[in-house]
Amino acid sequence: MVGGVDLVVLTFIICSIPQLTLISPVNATDTLTTTQLITYNQTLISSNQTFKLGFFTPTNSDNTRWYLGIWFNKIPVQTIVWVANRDHPLHSSSSGALKINNNGHLILINQTNDVIIWSSNSSSSIDNPIAQLLETGNLIIKSKTEETEQPSSSSSSSSSRFIWQSFDHPTDTTLNGMRIGWDFKTGFAWKLQSWKNLGDPSMGDFVYEMDPHGFPELVLRNGSMKLFRPGPWNGIQFSGTPELKNNSIFEPVFVSNDEEVYFAAKTNDNSVMTRLVLDPSGYIYRYTWNARSLQWVLMINVLKDQCNKYGLCGVHGVCNIDEAILCKCLKGFEPKSPEDWSGINWSGGCRRRTSLNCSNGVGDDGFVKFSSLKVPDTTFCWVNKSMGLGECQMKCLMNFSCMAYANSDIRGSGSGCVLWFGDLIDIREFTAGGGQDLYVRMAASELDVVNGGGTNKKEKLVALIASTSVVVAVLLAALTIWCFVKRTKMRRKEEENIILMEGSASKGESDLELPLFDFVTVATATNNFSHDNVIGEGGFGPVYKGKLSSGQEIAVKRLSKNSGQGVSEFKNEIVLIAKLQHRNLVRLLGCCIQREEMILIYEYMPNESLDYFIFGSFSSSSFFSSLIHECSFYKLHNRISLQVSLARMPFMFLDQARSKLLGWQKRFDIIVGIAQGLLYLHRDSILRIIHRDLKVSNVLLDREMNPKISDFGLARIYGGDDKEVNTRRVVGT
């Protein structure tokens, strides 16, 4: 069960097993000697009692699997930070025993059958070995004659005093000073691998490791598939993850040389308990313990937004979480498939508007500077840390395969050179700090039209003259154009509406990517919009119940002509709404744009709205409407006094009969459903939406009483990182 143990070590371990009967159990201490062992009811505790080593069973397991691990000792929430036998559990709490043999090898055996479950498999041996649990949470093996030191997490740097340490073999968690990286001399890698699930610490699907190729950077993978990378270290921070820079809690350390490359985070205050964990779902969190609230507080969520998803915008695409539409092409590039991009599918990426010219070797190409970017994937980059930016530019220009260049270190005036070859992928743009400059190769003809221009003085002069000419021409023609537009605005609007209405009927689903209903079909389904079929009155028009010829029941929202929306805006909005799919949002089935009509067809909710069960047929909105009509106003001594009839006040109480249909569990389920729908709108959807009109009458219930949010008439798009929104863009109907 122990792979890679050489024959000599394995023979010694097996021969030492019978001696366990002569070994005494360990008492509460931080040290394990060759004459002691640890069983299920014994532990090692670090000198200041911060960490504990012993046997445990996961909180969410069935108590049939036991593991040797290390966890925080002083906090009430059991938080495992290291597991020895993660893939080989013991099946009885009393069967395991841990000891250290005379050569300095830790071994964990199953006492019921003397089978070796796990071994430290140290590559060397020492005299008078002991195992010690340090205050850092690191379990080390050293000679008893050596003084206790806090080793680094590099096996090579501590080999003179420590022959093995748990920090070299992390599971899913890093503590203060632990490394993620590579030791090039030994070929040893420090990496995190998630638990399979919360109740099973065996190796899961996700790995967080250092990619040493090209310009080294951290990568989160699921198998061979990249899921996330924080960007390369630029001397100050990871170019794509500004929140991981130096702060009051911890100091990031990044080392890259011929012998090793690694990242570590060291706390500025040793009393602060913090950890970085790769959870079973593939998310990376940094927590800090709050002694006052007695809970782990989330400090950093590395995968907090969609722009952190690897390659979301495809090659040469740029993601900006502050924009309503996340992805755009680099300037000088255009979508490979405009149809896919209009459908919010950006994976195909972008291509150059103008091909590069290499007919004369170097060509007439130049470079355009892009600022505040998470630079592209650096796996296949070329790096020279001693080269300046000017020399770096010439190096890239002389190689026609070079597509971009940047500094490897942005401290001060910048230093070092990184060259990219081939497609540029996984780029992100920051609007509020973060990122660095990237210089992208462009054809000479593009340098005049792309903001930032090229590096040729003649080209800059031509661009300046052209821009000035355009401005003058615009100023001279402004008055004439304004008058013409003023006079023909209404006529063009009418023509546009006619074209759109006729075009929508002919193009069908290929245009809107949504089923289009014929007006006659909708009218037939609603009995010619009979008043008897009215089931509600929204802010933009009435809602009718209908039934298609197929037997499917539908809800038909007929926008009134004074709703304030034109056909173009209406058509644009339903394209966006069609992209919002969630079990707690009312599903849009189709639309109708004919005969100056703008109609939306939704799935029908047989249990009506939530206020029907809370207030009955008399809703809160109708109460206040009628209340206003019964108010009398008097003006006395320049003051307004309001006299209110209290005749209808009893109706404000809940409808007791219908309220009984909603038990507490069902009420809780409805609340959770509404919250999940809002969470999808606010955070998880590609288009971030603020509803702005959420009330019980806008929460509909299906046959199983599942809640579905409706009526997006006042909704607004906003950027992914915005905390407040002030926009005139109205989405929904």
What pLDDT, in 10s, does the model give residues 719-732?
A: 555 555 555 544 44
Interacting residues of 664 by C-beta distance below 8 A, sequence separation 6+: none
Among 423, 455, 487, the domain-final residue is 455
Q: Are residues 291 and 438 in the same domain?
A: no
Q: Are residues 286 and 251 in the same domain?
A: yes
Cβ atoms 538, 713 nearer than 8 A: yes
Counts for the chain of helices (H) and strands (E), in that order: 12, 47
Q: Is the pLDDT of residue 631 over 50?
A: no
Q: Are residues 160 and 216 in the same domain?
A: no
Q: Are residues 20 and 154 in the same domain?
A: yes
Q: Are residues 91 and 234 in the same domain?
A: no
In whole angstroms, what is the distance from residue 139 CA to residue 151 CA? 10
Instruction: Say if 465 falls within a structural domain.
Output: no
What confidence score (pLDDT) does residue 653 get? 43
Structural domain count of the chain: 3
Largest CA distance in the chain: 105
Cβ atoms 322, 727 nearer than 8 A: no
Instruction: Say if 692 falls within a structural domain.
Output: no
DSSP E strands, 487-638: 534-538, 541-547, 553-558, 588-594, 597-603, 632-636
In whole angstroms, what is the distance from residue 512 CA to residue 491 CA? 25
What positions carry a catalytic annotation? 693
Q: 44: closest CA among 56, 59, 54, 57?
A: 54
Q: Are residues 316 and 345 in the same domain?
A: yes
Instruction: Say if 255 falls within a structural domain.
Output: yes
Q: Is the pLDDT of residue 349 over 80?
A: yes
Instruction: Say if 528 falls within a structural domain.
Output: no
Q: Are residues 193 and 161 in the same domain?
A: no
Q: Is the pLDDT of residue 453 over 50?
A: no
Instruction: Say if 595 falls within a structural domain.
Output: no
Q: What is the dihedral of CA 306, 308, 313, 318, to 10 degrees?
A: 110
Q: Is the pLDDT of residue 362 over 90?
A: no
Q: Are residues 217 and 101 in the same domain?
A: no
pLDDT per residue as tens digits for the range 111-128: 888 899 999 987 788 889
Cβ atoms 175, 137 nearer than 8 A: yes
Q: Are residues 222 and 245 in the same domain?
A: yes
Q: Which of 140-154, 302-316, 320-334, 355-369 has the lowest mean pLDDT?
A: 140-154
Q: Are residues 353 and 262 in the same domain?
A: no
List C-alpha distances in Å: 425 to 104, 349, 408: 48, 9, 18
Instruction: Say if 267 falls within a structural domain.
Output: yes
In whole angstroms, what is the distance from residue 690 CA to residue 564 CA? 20
In whole angstroms, what is the distance from residue 538 CA to residue 712 CA? 10
In whole angstroms, what is the distance from residue 23 CA to residue 38 CA? 10
Instruction: Say if 36 falls within a structural domain.
Output: yes
Quick one: pLDDT band at residue 492, thresholds 50, 70, 90?
Answer: low
Cβ atoms 275, 267 nearer than 8 A: no
Quick one: pLDDT band at residue 420, thresholds 50, 70, 90?
Answer: very high
Pair of tokens at residue 706? 């599942």
Instruction: Say if 710 falls within a structural domain.
Output: no
Quick one: pLDDT band at residue 647, thresholds 50, 70, 90?
Answer: very low
What confidence score (pLDDT) does residue 482 get? 72
Among 288, 304, 320, the domain-final residue is 304
Q: Are residues 146 and 197 in the same domain?
A: no
Q: Is the pLDDT of residue 305 over 80?
A: yes
Pair of tokens at residue 607? 């249990």
What confidence score (pLDDT) does residue 625 get? 42
Among 304, 337, 372, the domain-final residue is 304
Q: Is the pLDDT of residue 44 over 80?
A: yes
pTM for the whole thing? 0.62
Q: 144: closest CA among 129, 133, 125, 155?
A: 129
Q: Are residues 322 and 390 in the same domain?
A: yes
Cβ atoms 99, 23 nearer than 8 A: yes
Domain that holds residue 205: 177-304
